[in-house]
Structures are given as structure tokens and as C-alpha cells.
Structure 1
Amino acid sequence: MFAKMIFSSLLTISALAGSAFAAPFNPQTQSLDRRYISFNNWHGLSSLSGFDNFYGSDNFSGEISTQVVEQETEVVCHSLSVEIIQQKLLVLQEMAKQIITEQICDVETQTIVFQQYISASSHFTSDIMHTSGISAGYDSSIVSHYSGLYNSDGSLSTSDLGISGSDVGKSVIVPTGTNWNSATSPSSVQAAYTAAQSAISGN
């Protein structure tokens, strides 16, 4: 279970490294028609057939507002060296690139799918910062499919995993043991976020 926790957390965080929050929707300057775009067969691309079925045309980034926490399962956070975490994140980063470049041949579809991946993962930042109303955890049911990504010979699997974006949040494990303090952590995580964003902007 701990291995699953690490895999899920790293998969989510790997996408965060290259992403900042998107600007909030402003009804005075944006219309819903402009915000909600259907990408099914966008610009005639057959590789985007069924794209909207995953999260829905009105939820491009897969944002969730509710979650079902597995109360009977307890997982405790165990800190590892940050360099080990960075190593694992690097592997997951390159795995995402492999999946996109080996299994999508239209560069337009590569672009849209990767932007969706980054956007969907970016919501985890507000979970960590305790500003979303969603606990910082992972869906154990989704994580259980990680072994289906590769074949026994090391090549990428082409199998349908039988899951959808709407399944996220139905079987959530929230690890305990972090140093969150309701009195001091809101300001400290904001400082950490600001410092990280400054580092990104400086690159």
C-alpha cells in the first residue's frame, strides 16, 4: 500500500513542476461557450475521437469537488530523501513523455492531451495547501492500475485500463503524519508556493 501511495503522489506531483494555476473564470470577460470547448474530433482529428468522454466537455481539467475517503485504510507518510523523490519524479516525467510520443502521432493531439494532464494534476496544489476543500490524498483504485502500463517485455501496453476521469475521487486514501498545523501552515505553504513560482519564473 505504501508503494502505491508513493506512485500516486509522485505521478501527481510530476506534472505540477511545469504548471501554475490557470486564471480563474471571469463571467464578465469570458462566455461559457468559450470556456467549455468540445475536443471530440477537434479540427477533424480522428485521434481526438471520444476525448470528451473522459472528463466531459465542461470539465477539461478533471476538477473534482467531492471525494470518498476510505476510512478503514490508514497509511502514514514516511519521509524519504528529497533527492530520491526527485529521482522518482524524473522517471515518471519521462514515462509521461514516452506514453504521449509513442502512442499519439498527431502533434496537435499530443499538445491537447499533455495540457489536460498538466491542468488536471495542478489541482493537487490547492489540496496540499488546504485551500480546495479536498483532502490531499490519492485514489487507490486508480493507482491499482499502474501495473497495466507496461507489458512484460518492457514495452508500453495498448490495453484499455477500463477507467475514466469520472472515477477519480471515489476511493481516496489520505495519508496521515504530515506536519500540517492549522495555525502556522497556511502562511508557510503559501511562502513555499511563492518561492517555487519565483524559481520557475526565473528559469
Structure 2
Amino acid sequence: MSGFDNFQGSGNFDGSQNTQVVVVQEQQTVCHTEQIEIIQQKLVVLQEIAKRIITEQICEVETQTIVLEQFSSGLTVFQKDISRTTTKQVGYDKNVAGLISNLTNSDGSLSTSDLGFNGTSVGSSTVVPTGSNWNETQGPEAVQKALSAAQAAANATSAS
């Protein structure tokens, strides 16, 4: 696992040990409901960009495998945050998210520039949008039911 330590290495592979610092913004971020299809489109674009980065910028299949697992396990940690089974608040790092336009060059090719952060700094500028329907009484059971249904759908799809 040499070379992965500055980016959530073997002792913090999924980023779950990162310190979270919630920033208070002048204008509060509030979640709002959008059509699911629009959300799915945006997330699939991110998924395909991740595939592109992994296949175009990593030639060793072993490293591709490790990086993909690291990416996937980071999302699994976020799922645990959403389920409120961690001590972290549900949010995102505004500084890191703000770098999205730096992923590609003006000609559409993938950028090779250093974005200027490492894995352990992710979470140091966390924004927590308000307005979710979470409540301590029904939330845990509702989230578990939703997760189980989604996992069953994924398992049924991947089994065919």
C-alpha cells in the first residue's frame, strides 16, 4: 500500500478517520428536492468521470483496483453518515467539491495538475445542508428499509 498513505492510506483507507470541521457560512446551504432522474444523471456523469480517470490515468490494473476500492469505500462511509451510524455530520467538503472544474482541460482532456490537497484534509471545510427529513424516531428504521430495498435491487440486477 506504499504511495497511498498521503491519500487516506492503509490506516485510513476510506477516509473515515478524517477530522470533520463544519464551516458556518454567511448564507446557509439548504437542501431542496430535485427530480430523481436529474440527480441520477449528475451522479452517473461523476461515475463515468471516475472510470475515465482510472482507465486513462492509471495503467497498472492492480493500482486501478486499489484506487477504485478506495473511491467506493469512501462512498460507503458517506452512506453510514447518511444513516447516522457515524459521529460525522452529513455534508461535503466545499473546498474539494469546488475543484470539479479542474478535472478537465478546456479541450476536454483530463487534467494532470495537482489539485493541492491530500486525503487527510478532506472534511476540513465541511458544509452541512439543512432541511433533511431526518428524525431520531423513525429515521433509523426508514433509512435501513430504504437501504435494504436498494441493495436488493442492486443484487437482483447484478445476479442476472
The reply to whether TM is greater than 0.5 is: yes
- TM-superposed CA distance for 1:153, in Å, is 0.8
State whether residues 64 and 169 of structure 1, in contact with CA within 8 Å, keep that contact through their aligned partners in structure 2. Answer: no
1:26-175 map, 5 Å: 39-40=1-2, 50-64=3-17, 66-73=19-26, 74-175=28-129
For 1:184, which of 129, 138, 142 is the aligned residue? 138
Structure 1: gaps (5+ residues): 1-38, 41-49
Q: Verify: 1:193 aligned to 2:156, yes or no.
A: no
Structure 2 partner of 1:34: none
State whether residues 67 and 134 of structure 1, in contact with CA within 8 Å, keep that contact through their aligned partners in structure 2. Answer: yes
2: distance between equivalents of 1:55 and 1:126?
Answer: 18
State whether residues 68 and 172 of structure 1, in contact with CA within 8 Å, keep that contact through their aligned partners in structure 2. Answer: yes
Structure 2: gaps (5+ residues): none
Q: Which amino acid aligns with 2:67?
A: V
**After superposition, what is the alpha-carbon deviation per residue over 1:157-195, rounded to whole angstroms, capped at 9, x for unaligned?**
010111111001111000001111221111111110111
Aligned length in residues: 156
2: distance between equivalents of 1:97 and 1:76?
Answer: 30
Aligned residue for 1:121, secondary structure, equals: helix
State whether residues 65 and 134 of structure 1, in contact with CA within 8 Å, keep that contact through their aligned partners in structure 2. Answer: no
Q: Which has the higher contact order (CA 8 A, sep 6+)?
A: 2
1: distance between equivalents of 2:144 and 2:19?
Answer: 24
Q: Normalising by the residue count of structure 2, what TM-score does the alignment of the two structures yield? A: 0.92
Q: Which amino acid aligns with 2:17?
A: I
2: distance between equivalents of 1:177 and 1:124?
Answer: 18
Q: Which amino acid aligns with 2:9?
A: G
Bigger mean CA deviation after superposition, 52-61 or 193-202: 52-61
